[in-house]
Structure 1
Amino acid sequence: MTASTTMTIRVSSETRQKLERIATDTRRSKSFLAAEAVSAYVDRELGIIDGIKRGMADAEAGRLVSHDEAMAEIDAVIEAAEAERAGKA
């Protein structure tokens, strides 16, 4: 099990009331729910930051697709989906 640490945070009264409602409805402690929420937020934000960094590295290395190429590929996917849907109708 990962070691834990204690943090103190400030939230609005509305957020606290919502957290209390979730805690009651799920029979979980507010601390458990808050820790889960912070963990999910941190993981999501780090994923976004890492994706941005990969994109920036790709751009610096010249690994790019033009807007026209990207739109052509998207249009082809949409057309294929519409054709498939029309064939099933």
Structure 2
Amino acid sequence: MADKPVLSDPITLRLPLDILEDIEKIAETADRSRSWVIVRALKYYLMAEGAEMLSIRRGLEDAEAGRMVDAEELFAELDRLNREAAA
């Protein structure tokens, strides 16, 4: 059995009424709470678009901290590795 996640304090969220209606219909159909539906939707968002944004942010943070490789050096290393693999 998986451990239950640590939850935050409650938050307040205003939603367009049409979205709230859909959330309520889904919750009722799935016999789940509105919170469950919203958390699940947020997880899917974070796995898709959110993950891409977080990756971009990590890249920017790496660049600002000087953690990067010159493109010419990278291509030279890849060429070297390809030559070694072909030999």
What's the TM-score once normalised by structure 2's chain length? 0.54
What is the SS of the residue equivalent to 1:28? coil
Q: 1:36 deviation in Å?
A: 1.4
Q: 1:50 deviation in Å?
A: 4.4
Unmatched 5+ stretches in structure 2: 76-87
Q: What residue number does 1:61 align with?
A: 70
What's the TM-score once normalised by structure 1's chain length? 0.53
* Identical residues among aligned pairs (%): 21
Task: Give runs of aligned pairs for residues 1-89 of structure 1, distance below 5 A.
Answer: 1-5=4-8, 6-52=10-56, 53=59, 61-62=70-71, 63=74
Q: 1:38 deviation in Å?
A: 1.7
* Bigger helix share: 1
Unmatched 5+ stretches in structure 1: 65-89
Q: Distance in 2 between matches of 1:48 and 1:9?
A: 24
What is the SS of the residue equivalent to 2:7? coil
State the Cα RMSD in Å.
2.8
